[in-house]
Structure 1
Amino acid sequence: MALLQQVKDGEFLKATCDLSSPCELGEWKVSTGVHCQLIMRGVLQITPAELGGNEKDIILSSGVHGDETSPIELIQNLAQKILKGELVPVHRLLLIIAHPEAINAHTRFIDENMNRLFNGHNEERNVDCIVANQLQAAVNSFYAGSTAINKDRWHLDLHCAIRGSAHYTFAVSPFSEKPTRSNRLFAFLQRAEIEAVLLSRTASPTFSWYSAENFGAQALTMELGKVAPFGKNDLSLLESFNTAMLALVIEPELALEWHGDKLNVYKVTRTLTKQTEAFQFTFPDNQANFTFFEQGKLLGSDEGVEYFSLEGGEAVVFPNPNVAIGQRACLLVRKTAVNFAEQVTVKP
């Protein structure tokens, strides 16, 4: 079956990953009047039948890391509901299954970590760079095509962690000088029953950061459970998130509710960068995210330097001593209180 027909039939994931089938693009309407356009392999644009000028422009992406399969399944399920007329969005959507080559290879990436390649045009030295360039172009085009009066841009980039975590679900809010931490975004996190959010304080060229920095999008990298093969994910554990995501798509506006004790908020205290091949941690490679270390604990070392936890202690997130030299080896974080205003900020 031709790729485009597979997508029309609701098989967005299957069509995306069938690399033996030529990439056939096109646009059509489904039974509900919703307009669909396959703009590249794995990128499906959805436009409501009627636009009143108050709609959001929402990107929901998955598969930036090919072995993180539960988010890919969630995007496939959402796409299928829309394509079969079972769900009618009221906002413009860009649904993404990002990296079919890595998905088929059951690996995070092919040559380079693609989620460090979203900082403008890359030299096309490998497939990861090529796909990152294509995705940035798709984001540019999608946001440029907005017909909304007041631009309300969102980007939820869905991942899952490669290790255990003290929080089964959590989000990372990328740093930007733009107002990208709205109370509406944090209310969504609570509605989705996400356990924690981490507030970055330095720029990092991730996919969500690209949308935040360049378009002021309410953007998050969302970690939804732990990596598992297709068919081995217990999506019931993500039901609250999935329900909130569907509500984001079909409701004109989500209720602005906030219960401060239901969301753990962390601020980044430090980023440890791998400077040499001598970099190592003192804890096991499978140490869970958000493991807390008391003040003065030796966390790791690099050539000529040792890293100890700071006053008050710190928790470790995304520890990976095997990254390339010059890349982030971990984040060190600490819980914080926030002001729930139009823009959410850390309390002094």
Structure 2
Amino acid sequence: MDSQLSGGFLKHTLFPPKIFTPNSITLSNGVIVSHNAIGVVEITPPESDKAIVISSGIHGDETAPIELVDDLVSSILDEAFQPTSRLLLIIAHPDAIHAHTRFIEENLNRLFADTNPLRNKECELANNLQEQVQVFFKKGTEEPWHFDLHSAIRASEHYMFGVVPASTQATDIRPLVSFLKASHMDAVMLSRTPSSTFSWYSAEKFGALAATFEMGRVARLYENNMEEFKPLRDALVALLCGETLPAPPTEKGFSNYKVTRTITKTSDAFNLAFSDDAANFTYFAEGEQLAEENGTVYSAIAGGEAVVFPNSKVAIGQRAALLVQPFEPNLSEPLYVNVERDPGPVAFS
């Protein structure tokens, strides 16, 4: 076993040596494990049909995803399963993990639009991660996937859900929706406008089947009940190994949402009309006030809207809330998440 990883991927990421040297080992099953950078491990099997990025730690206090990625790396090193996909496994922001905070100076998950000026640690991390992902996807021609794993900072009407970014790529996301169902997610939310999140970067630049996963609530490292996420882990292992995905649960339903609007904070005068700790997917009937800023009032549209990720304390120019409505996609036809268009059978590219 690689001595750098003998104590665990997470331990090395949090307590790296002063001088890091990338290195690779070949396991007895022929899988190559490459420790490319602090917090970045690449897995190369003898043959592969997919190229999958699984990232965690973009926000340092969202620890269940970090523990899950650490467990996947350990299981591969122990040869508990043999992937048939090339993998890039990431624990992104050790400084924020140590501080148990979302970020140190700037929200890392808003920095994946392009190369950033080096004004802080988050900009440097985003640039390095974009380069790692670019090199990884360009190495081969396999089907690209990206799961960016997060945990919510608030309660939610749906404990686990996926957010699929909108892109200009003509990528049919039905396989991704099937995976969400197999991993016992409660809902999927389809975006409408481009963003600068990590999952959007892979979807837009490489046509990846990409989503941001919300896994429960934030907690201290090693204080998560990882049994809650066993169905997700089982589905990931099946996908990584080219096996049939587990059957979706029959005891609960699966909800589909599309984003109707994004509310952006443009001044310090912005205020939500409800408590900042309102649960994700809290519903507001038509006409109910949602927010106000310098005389502009935002109210729920016809049919009502549910609010997701409300946060009045974001920086000016950033998203203060997403508003969504339920819908039922026709899964007998391709499903595209189009920039500024309703999700539907015609890709805008």
Same fold (TM over 0.5): yes
Q: CA deviation at 1:343?
A: 2.5
Q: In the alignment, what sits opposite 1:136?
A: 130
Deviations 1:44-99 (A, max 9, x none): 00000x21xx6100000000001100000000000000012212111100000011
Deviations 1:226-247 (A, max 9, x none): 0000121111111111110111
Q: CA deviation at 1:33?
A: 1.8
Aligned residue among 88, 102, 105 for 1:108: 102
Q: In the alignment, what sits opposite 2:160?
A: 169
Q: Secondary structure at the match of 2:274?
A: coil
CA distance in 2, matches of 1:344, 1:136: 27
Amino acid at match of 2:149: L
Q: Secondary structure at the match of 1:5?
A: coil
CA distance in 1, matches of 2:155, 2:248: 30
User: Residue 258 and residue 224 in structure 1: after superposition, are their counterparts in 2 closer, same or farther (change >3 A)?
Assistant: closer
Q: In the alignment, what sits opposite 1:29?
A: 26
Q: In the alignment, what sits opposite 1:47?
A: 44
Equivalent runs, 1:289-328 vs 2, <5 Å: 289-328=280-319
Q: Is the 8 A contact 1:10 1:79 kept in 2?
A: no
Q: Secondary structure at the match of 2:239?
A: helix
Q: Secondary structure at the match of 1:232?
A: coil
CA distance in 2, matches of 1:160, 1:273: 22
Q: Secondary structure at the match of 2:3?
A: helix
Q: Is the 8 A contact 2:63 2:219 kept in 1?
A: yes
CA distance in 2, matches of 1:223, 1:299: 23
CA distance in 2, matches of 1:39, 1:333: 39
CA distance in 1, matches of 2:162, 2:171: 14
Q: In the alignment, what sits opposite 1:13?
A: 10
Tell me if 1:121 matches 2:115.
Answer: yes
Tell me if 1:333 matches 2:297.
Answer: no
Q: Secondary structure at the match of 2:4?
A: helix
Equivalent runs, 1:216-235 vs 2, <5 Å: 216-235=207-226
CA distance in 1, matches of 2:180, 2:253: 10
Q: CA deviation at 1:19?
A: 4.3
Q: Is the 8 A contact 1:180 1:219 kept in 2?
A: no
Amino acid at match of 2:221: F
Equivalent runs, 1:180-259 vs 2, <5 Å: 180-251=171-242, 254=245
Amino acid at match of 2:21: E
Q: RMSD of aligned C-alpha atoms? A: 2.0
Q: CA deviation at 1:347?
A: 6.1
CA distance in 1, matches of 2:254, 2:229: 16
Q: Secondary structure at the match of 1:267?
A: strand
Q: Is the 8 A contact 2:335 2:344 kept in 1?
A: no
CA distance in 2, matches of 1:152, 1:310: 39
Q: CA deviation at 1:193?
A: 1.0
Identity within the alignment, %: 46
Q: Is the 8 A contact 2:183 2:248 kept in 1?
A: no
For normalisation by structure 2, the TM-score amounts to 0.92
Tell me if 1:160 matches 2:158.
Answer: no
Off by >6 Å, runs of 4+ in structure 1 = 255-259
Aligned pairs, number? 338
Q: In the alignment, what sits opposite 1:66?
A: 60
Q: CA deviation at 1:25?
A: 1.4
CA distance in 2, matches of 1:268, 1:329: 14
Q: Which moved more, 1:113-122 or 1:247-256?
A: 247-256
Deviations 1:175-206 (A, max 9, x none): 01213342211111110111011100000000
Uncovered stretches (5+) of structure 2, i.e. residues with no partner: 337-342
Q: CA deviation at 1:287?
A: 0.4
CA distance in 2, matches of 1:44, 1:140: 14
Q: Is the 8 A contact 1:174 1:204 kept in 2?
A: yes
For normalisation by structure 1, the TM-score amounts to 0.93
User: Residue 97 and residue 214 in structure 1: after superposition, are their counterparts in 2 closer, same or farther (change >3 A)?
Assistant: same
